[in-house]
Chains A and B, each alone.
Chain A
Amino acid sequence: MDLALSEEYQALQAEIRAFIATHGHKSPKVGGGRKRPDQKTLDWQKLLVEHGYAGRTIPQEYGGFGAKPDVMASAVIAGEFGRANVYAGLTNQGISMLVPTLLEVGTDEQKKAYVGPTIRGDIIWCQGYSEPGNGSDLANAQTKAELKDGFWVVNGQKIWTSSAHYADMMFLLCRTEPEKSKHEGLSYLLLSMNSPGLDRRPLKTMTGRSEFNEVFFTDVKVPETQIVLGRGKGWYVANVTLKHERLMIGDAGKMTARLEQLIKLLQKSEIDGVPLIRISEYRDRLLRLQGEVIAWKAHNLRLLTEAAQDVDSGVKRMIVKYGGTMLGFRLSSLAVDALGAAGLPYESAGEDAEDDDATTWNIDYMYDVGLMIGGGSNNIQKNIIGERGLDLPREPKVQGTVAIGRG
């Protein structure tokens, strides 16, 4: 047991603290769900990329910082930003999924065109995967693209497309080889969301914002060169993308920051002149949550140690999404209860402004429910934990279906 950081990481920690002391006041607000980054966020993101706190492992020739992959360094960075309650940079599907995919299988032109602007937040991507008829069964995509006169002509529909209403580009999984088998008939295209014939219809969610969309394609023309890796390679590329879905290692830092905000909220909020933290019913809920956060922080240290040693954490990793989203919801639940009736006025300020504290907590509270459903719902997580983690037998299969658990 050795919790001390080595000199190398202590130096990194000191460097980040100095950075935050100098620049922290420029940080946009933490939390509040997903929207197009405003100018403040973009300026902040560029500063982070410059200093290597975002896009850290992206090669310099493509606009990144060029550091070698290092899970411990990432954890130190996430930890310091979390502790200071400072925005740790954009996380979106372009950065976490498309960029690593292009770096692995894209052409040099594609890398030069997209990697830098994406990590700086100038190009926002959306992921064209799910269709009305296939959520988990990804390889069954039916949206088709035909090659005509140097253009892919796309027709079909996608759904649950996060961020499509404000995205600039889409990475699209579509069927280009209808005569081939299910998995070999797919290709992976990069296209502009402003293409003629592309129609995005926001699906308004319970937060009042539109976090998802339906996207319709009617003879949408995409230049032939906008394919990644080649015809029929879409399934392979999509799997490269999934492989890069990040382990949720930074999350304990986020939980700690949220707990700190919650403590402040209970110290500040009063009923009949008594701060809530002095009222035992509120205080005990807070204490229970504090205990849980300590447990998850320690769990995270275990995962981090194992990741640095290249050990597969097995069930310890599988419980993170389910356990983490449930704890996140209970944290925001106490916050909305602490706000009480005074927290009910609710106006989400839209995409260009910061929300007030109460609205941010309310959005977090509802968004946490969305997180339990998206990215492999919690019931799917419980299947994975039970079947892969505890080695319990699977449900008997209904003939003719193939389930793909997206953990």
Chain B
Amino acid sequence: MEFGLSLEQRQFDDSLRSFLKDRLPMDRLRALAEPGMGFDPSLWNGLAELGLHGLIVPERFGGAGLGILDAAVAAEALGNAAAPVPFAGSLVMAPLAFIDSATEAQQDEYLPGIASGEIRVAVAFSGFGGQTGTARASLEDGRLSGRITGVMDAASATHFLVYLPDGHAAVVAADATGVSTKVNRSIDRTRPMTDVTFDAAPAERLGAANAPLVAAQTVLDAGRVVLAADTMGAAQHMLDAAVAFAKERVQFGRVIGSFQGVKYMLSDCVTVLEPCRGMVWYAAHAQDAIQDEARLTACHTKAHLAEVARDVARITTEAHGGMGFTDLLGLHYWFKRIMFNRQVLGGPERCREEAAQLQGWTLHA
């Protein structure tokens, strides 16, 4: 038994983090956050060179053929840097959907482009995603109609993958007739929310889903775990920043980290946050290798990280005093990243309720 990251995973993590540190200093992050489109071509192309795009795409389609644990490692690094990259949707959920549910021909058509970064698919869930907002879509005779609000990772999308109420998914080009989009800057300026309307847009159903609802849940679970990993990275950034600040800031002739009031706030944060890293790894590994526990751990991990990170975000902001509340330090980018991750693909209440259903604890189970 060995519970931890492999040498290759640690090396990948290191190279990703040093790339992001180099390419995304605070002034660059600010510049990208102002338009708030969640996408930067030069950052995107640079990440392609590190192999981020093809991470979970099978090797025969030009990818690395890795798993959700590797995706979680990447997501933690991206969250740690508050990187405006459409990772969860376009590089994890979409390729996973094509791997699990598409025909060979569809895989040939899309997966190599996903791995190279030319095709960016935004994933839109209808009802069962557990997100507030409008989500209805129907497919008739190869024509998609409906309206879905709050699609993440969609501002730069070349395609939409729209989940239908029966669990089947339909792929449609973003520039097809009948597709209109409205990109809204979100509270998290590193990731917008897109509203999309389909008016008899030409669409193609992924043709190989035997149990479509199960397949859709698999994609949703992977997305939830990856967002939890992103939250882990963001919360860790905030804690590290608060610890560094507490070692420098002097009041009453002492650095404030020597006051037990401040020290205990930060000790509380690390005590609740550190076990979350193992939880994310475990849930990610469960998606790859422990089928029985995959759904339950995905629901719980999305919910638990949201709750812990809310506390960590609040406490670490407080530890910075007035500076934490200003725009000057930029700490709020991570605060808002955590806010965003909490609400998309199902908030903690919804995820826990799903966990209850899985265990037969609800009236309608």
Interface 9-residue window, one of B14-22, B90-98, B274-282: B274-282
**B26 → chain A closest CB, angstroms:** 23
B361 at the interface (CB under 8 A from A): yes
Bound Cα distance from A383 to B267, whole angstroms: 8
**Is the pair B270, A395 in contact by a Cβ cutoff of 8 Å?**
no
Given A278-B363, A315-B274, A385-B267, verify A393-B247 contact (CB < 8 Å).
yes
A-B contacts, 15 of them at CB < 8 A, read: A2-B3, A283-B362, A287-B300, A287-B355, A291-B303, A291-B355, A294-B304, A296-B275, A305-B1, A319-B270, A319-B275, A383-B260, A389-B270, A392-B243, A394-B258
**Which of A3-11, A38-46, A150-158 participates in binding chain B?**
A3-11
Closest to B288 in A: A1
The listed residue (B264, B303, B349, B355) touching A386 by CB distance below 8 A is: B264
Shortest C-beta distance, A118 to chain B (Å), equals: 31
Q: Given the complex of chains A and B, what is the CA–CA distance between A315 and B243 in angstroms?
A: 14
Measured between alpha carbons, how far is A72 from B268 in the docked complex, in Å?
29
Query: What residues on B are CB-neighbors of A295 within 8 Å?
Result: 275-276, 278-279, 304
Output the least CB separation between A362 and chain B (Å): 25
In chain B between 293 and 319, which residues have their CB closer than 8 angstroms to a CB of chain A? Answer: 297, 300-301, 303-304, 307
- A295-B304, A386-B266 as given contacts; A301 in contact with B290, CB under 8 Å: no
Chain A residues whose CB sits within 8 angstroms of the CB of B264 once the complex forms: 379, 382, 386
Nearest chain A CB to B362 CB, angstrom units = 7
Complexed CA–CA distance, A299 and B297 (Å): 14
Closest to A278 in B: B363
How far is A290 from B301 in the complex, measured between Cα atoms in Å? 11
A5-B260 Cα distance, complex, nearest whole Å: 43
A382 to B262, CA, bound (A): 11
B254, B271, B276, B307 interface centre (most CB from chain A within 10 Å): B271
- For B209-244 the 0/1 string (1 means CB < 8 A from A) is 000000000000000000000000000000000010
B263 touches A1 (CB 8 A): no
Given known contacts A298-B279, A298-B282, A301-B278, A315 and B270 CB-to-CB distance under 8 angstroms: yes
Q: Which B residues lie within 8 Å of A5 (CB)?
A: 1
Pairs of residues from A and B, 5 with the lowest C-beta to C-beta distance, nearest first: A298-B278, A299-B275, A301-B3, A386-B263, A392-B257
- Complex: chain A residue closest to B2, CB-CB: A2
A residues at B contact (CB < 8 Å): 1-6, 9, 72, 277-278, 283-284, 286-288, 290-292, 294-302, 304-306, 315-316, 319, 322-323, 379, 381-383, 385-387, 389-396
B5 at interface (Cβ–Cβ under 8 A)? yes
- Beyond A294-B282, A387-B263, list 8 extra A-B contacts (CB 8 Å): A288-B304, A323-B272, A382-B267, A390-B266, A391-B247, A393-B247, A395-B258, A396-B254
Give residues of chain B (178-193) contacting chain A, Cβ–Cβ below 8 Å: none
Interface residues of B, CB < 8 Å — how many?
Answer: 49
- A319-B270, A382-B267 known; A291-B356 Cβ under 8 A: no
State whether B270 touches A283 (Cβ < 8 A): no
How long is the Cα–Cα vector from A298 to B4 in the complex, in angstroms?
A: 10
B289: which A residues are within 8 A, CB to CB? 1, 3
Within 8 A of A (CB), among B83-135: none
Task: Choose one: A1, A315, A395; the contact of B281 (CB below 8 Å).
Answer: A1
The answer to whether B274 touches A316 (Cβ under 8 A) is yes
B300 touches A393 (CB 8 A): no
> What's the Cα separation between A383 and B264 when bound, in Å?
7
Output the least CB separation between A282 and chain B (Å).
Answer: 10
Contact B278 A302 (CB under 8 A): yes
User: A2 contacts which chain B residues (CB < 8 A)?
Assistant: 1-3
**Closest-CB distance, B17 to chain A (whole angstroms):** 19
Bound Cα distance A312, B247 (Å): 24
Partner of B300, one of A4, A290, A382, A390: A290
> Which of B255, B266, B276, B285 is within 8 Å of A393, CB to CB?
B255
Nearest residue (CB) in A for B280 is A298
Interface flag for B246 (CB, 8 Å): yes
Do B258 and A392 touch across chains, with their CB atoms under 8 A apart?
yes
Shortest distance from the beta carbon of B36 to any chain A beta carbon, whole Å: 32
Q: How far is the CB of A10 from chain B (nearest CB, A)?
A: 10
Closest B residue to A326 using CB positions? B271
Closest CB in chain A relative to B243 CB, distance in Å: 5
Which residues does chain B contribute within 8 Å of A72, judged by CB atoms?
A: 1
Of residues 343 through 361 on chain B, the ones whose CB sits less than 8 Å from some CB of chain A are: 349, 352, 355-356, 361
